[in-house]
Amino acid sequence: MTHNFFAGPAILPQEVLAKASESVKNLTEMGLSILEISHRSEFFANVMTEAEAVCRRLLNVSDDYAVLFLTGGASSQFFMAPLNILPSGESAAYIDTGAWSTKAIKEAKHYGNIVEVGSSKDANYNYLPEIESDLSKYKYLHLTSNNTIFGTQYQEFPDVGTPLVCDMSSDIFSRPLDVSKFDIIYAGAQKNMGPAGTTLVIIKKSILGKVDRHIPTMLNYETHIAKGSSFNTPPVLPIYVSMLTMQWVERHGGVAAMKVRNEEKATLLYNEIDRNSLFKSAVSEPYRSKMNVTFLLNDESHMDGFLAACKDNAIVGIEGHRSVGGFRASIYNAMELSSVQHLVDVMKSFEAKNG
Ligand SMILES: *Cc1c(COP(=O)(O)O)cnc(C)c1O
């Protein structure tokens, strides 16, 4: 068995992969493959309905919000969000907690007055900055809930008197959420929700229709709300597999159970990083991500040796992002505790040989 620690596209539950591959060969309901059916077929219409419904059940999403499955990746939300909801001349607050936030800020600047109210750039994004408690003069506050590259994560969302717009690409469905704090939640599927190819957008309907600029039809949230995410051909397979993954989360106790499971895995791994004399965490205690665990060697000369030990023990995707170095273990919902235990065992035996 291979232990998949890739950051994204990333691990999916075995049960989901089994069902998905069966559906590629033969959708029993129609005798066709999921890859060759119309997005207007009854089968897929039901998939879209259930994908939206299971998302609503998992996160308790009220009818004030639309749930969309779009394309263009989370990266397209960096401009779609301000394009649709930030009137020209008005201000929005952004927190810069790493590469994805930086990209969101760059795109948003074309649509309004973007104010960076906090940044952790000074320490290569290894913490989450303090921000002012009253940001009510801004249309919204944008933040990245989990910084996939640097390994920091908000454990609580700030109450700052303005709605939040949040990139949850790498921790959606990893824990319970109070959706009412958010005007927009968006997430590329390929970290914690499904395969690459679709982006989940949860959006408060009442905030739309308030900007006077021209919005291209395909970039207008209202287009996709009116057509139930099927204005044009939606990515059938990614939405289907995302639906299966969300149903898997539900069968395994929902997001509350995922939170417990994720905390158990993260605690096991951070405890070993803190204990092991060869390694150190890249992030200090209150900011540590439960999804992407970044860690470094005290002595970089062990780099190749540890990577070889991982390879010998069927651990893949553990190399750190080039902007942090070291290692990154992505331990999303689908990762089993036994795989994290396996990594911990490899770290212990590496220490016994090299410590
Ligand atoms: C991966 C990632 C993105 C980029 O997603 P794409 O779907 O590739 O555009 C954006 N934000 C975060 C937090 C990510 O982890």
The span from the CA of 274 to the CA of 180, in Å, is: 37
Ligand 1 contacts CB of residue 3 (under 6 A): no
Report how far residue 307's alpha carbon sits from residue 310's, in angstroms, rounded to the nearest whole number: 5
Task: State the distance from the centre of ligand 1 to the C-alpha of 322, rounded, in angstroms.
Answer: 16
Taking 80 as the threshold, does the pLDDT of residue 189 lie above it? yes
Give the residue among 148, 166, 146, 187 at the shortest CA–CA distance from 55: 187
Atom of ligand 1 nearest to the CA of 73: 7
Instruction: Write out the two tokens for 184.
Output: 């927009």
Average pLDDT over residues 227-238: 98
Confidence at residue 289, expressed as pLDDT on a 0 to 100 scale: 98
Within 8 A by CB and 6+ apart from 300, the residues are: none
Residue range 246-251: average pLDDT? 98
High-pLDDT (> 90) share of the chain, %? 98
Model pLDDT for residues 212-222, shown as the tens digit of each residue: 999 999 999 99
The question of whether 167 is a catalytic residue gets the answer yes
Give the pLDDT of residue 355: 84
Cis bond upstream, residue 9 (ω within 30): yes
Residue 346 pLDDT more than 80?
yes
| Closest residue by CA, ligand 1 atom 5 | 74
- What does the pLDDT read at residue 118? 98
Tokens of 55: 């998302």
User: Cβ atoms within 10 A of the Cβ of 34, count?
Assistant: 21
pLDDT tens-digit map of 118-153: 999 999 999 999 999 999 999 999 999 999 999 999
> Does the beta carbon of 191 sit less than 6 angstroms from any atom of ligand 1?
yes
Do the domains 14-251 and 3-9+254-354 match in fold? no
The answer to whether residue 248 is catalytic is no
Domain ranges for the chain, please list them.
Answer: 3-9+254-354, 14-251
What pLDDT is stored for residue 124 in this prediction?
A: 96
- pLDDT over 90 (residue 30): no
Retrieve residue 254's tokens.
């929902």
Q: Supply the pLDDT for residue 29.
A: 76
Asked if the model's pLDDT at residue 166 lies above 80, the reply is: yes
Q: Quote the pLDDT of residue 246.
A: 98
Of 111, 110, 104, nearest to 86 (Cα)?
Answer: 111
Q: 270 by DSSP, 3-state: which?
A: helix
Beta-carbon contacts of 194 under 8 Å, excluding residues fewer than 6 positions away, are 12, 238, 239, 241, 242, 244, 245
Report the separation in Å between the CA atom of 149 and the middle of ligand 1, taken as the mean of its atom positions: 10
DSSP letter (8 states) at residue 321: P
Residue 328 Cβ < 6 Å to ligand 1 = no
Mean pLDDT of 20-33: 90
Bridge partners (DSSP) listed for residue 114: 92
pTM over 0.85: yes
> Ligand 1 centre and the CA of 170: distance in Å?
8
Any atom of ligand 1 within 6 Å of the Cβ of 75: yes
Q: How much of the chain exceeds pLDDT 70, in percent?
A: 100
What is the predicted pLDDT for the residue at 28?
76
**Distance between CA atoms of residues 24 and 247, nearest Å:** 18
Topology adopted by domain 3-9+254-354: Aspartate Aminotransferase, domain 1 (3.90.1150)
Q: Sort residue 89 into left (φ over 0), alpha (ψ -120 to 50) or beta.
A: left
Q: How far apart are CA 115 and CA 91, in angstroms?
A: 7
The pLDDT tens digits of the residues spanning 233-242 come to 999 999 999 9
> What CATH architecture does domain 14-251 belong to?
3-Layer(aba) Sandwich (3.40)
Q: Output the average pLDDT for the chain.
A: 97
pLDDT tens per residue, range 302-314: 999 999 999 999 9
Q: Which residues contact 81 (CB under 8 A, 6 or more apart)?
A: 108, 142, 165, 184, 186
Residue nearest to atom 8 of ligand 1 (CA): 73
CA-nearest residue for atom 12, ligand 1, is 169
Q: Please answer whether residues 94 and 113 qualify as being in contact, where contact means their C-beta atoms are separated by less than 8 angstroms.
A: no
Copy the structure tokens of residue 199: 């982006």
Q: Return the pLDDT at 27.
A: 84
